[in-house]
Structure 1
């Protein structure tokens, strides 16, 4: 096994483990957290629905991006890094990044409304959400930067043929 294949294999294992963690979050922890919160705060239990929509939307979108990253690593292993398939995977990852940002913003709006109703301060969760938006924006920018050389390579090869 050469260095490139071992590094992509390690990245694939990491992506797989993150995917398992996301699945566990969606199946076990999110419903449990929602149930406990509804028991503790029955007067604001109806606010759990928008939060669960945001959380599951985030998880599903993130899982799609993980699958595309896994596919991209497979293309790299097969020496197809500069192909239409890898470009398509990068486009999907970028769209997923923007969708994740949308769900985080939707969650911030829900937090602000909940803070108005309950009188609580939502500065902590909102600041964490803004950091998540920053990280997701960095990922989207990185993917956009990766797309340019692949597009240029494909256009040059298309002209030569």
Structure 2
């Protein structure tokens, strides 16, 4: 096993473990939290629906991006890093990043509506959402930077 294959295998294992964590979050943790919050605040339980939709949409989109990253690492292992398949995977990952940003913004809007109804302070959750948008924007920018030379290389072929 050479260094490149060892590092891609390590990254694949990390992606797989992150995927398992996201799956466990969707199956076990999110429904449990929603049920507990609905019991504690029955008057605003209907506001959980947009948050759950955003959370599951985020999880599905994130899982698709993880799968595409896994495929990209497989292409790199097979010395197909400069191929149309790699470019397609990068495009899907970038679309997933923009979808995640949209879902986070939708969550912020839902949170602002909930704040108007309850009168609570939402500065903490909104700042966390904005940090998530920043991190996702950085990932989208990196993917865009990786796409350009790959596309130029494939156009020259």
Return the TM-score normalized by structure 1.
Answer: 0.97
1:14-93 equivalent positions in 2, closer than 5 A: 14-93=14-93
Matched with 1:13 is 13
Per-residue CA distance 1:75-115 (angstroms, 9 max, x = gap): 00000000000000000000000000000000000110001
Distance in structure 1 (CA, Å) of the matches to 2:138 and 2:94:
11
Matched with 2:144 is 144
Distance in structure 2 (CA, Å) of the matches to 1:119 and 1:148:
47
Q: Are 2:129 and 1:129 equivalent residues in the alignment?
A: yes
Q: Which runs of 4+ in 1 moved over 4 A?
A: none
Q: How far is the alpha carbon of 1:38 from its aligned partner?
A: 0.2
Secondary structure of 1:82's aligned partner = coil
Cα-Cα RMSD: 0.4
Return the TM-score normalized by structure 2.
Answer: 0.99
Q: How far is the alpha carbon of 1:156 from its aligned partner?
A: 1.0
Mark the runs of 5 or more structure 1 residues left unpaired by the alignment.
Answer: none
Distance in structure 1 (CA, Å) of the matches to 2:150 and 2:79:
13
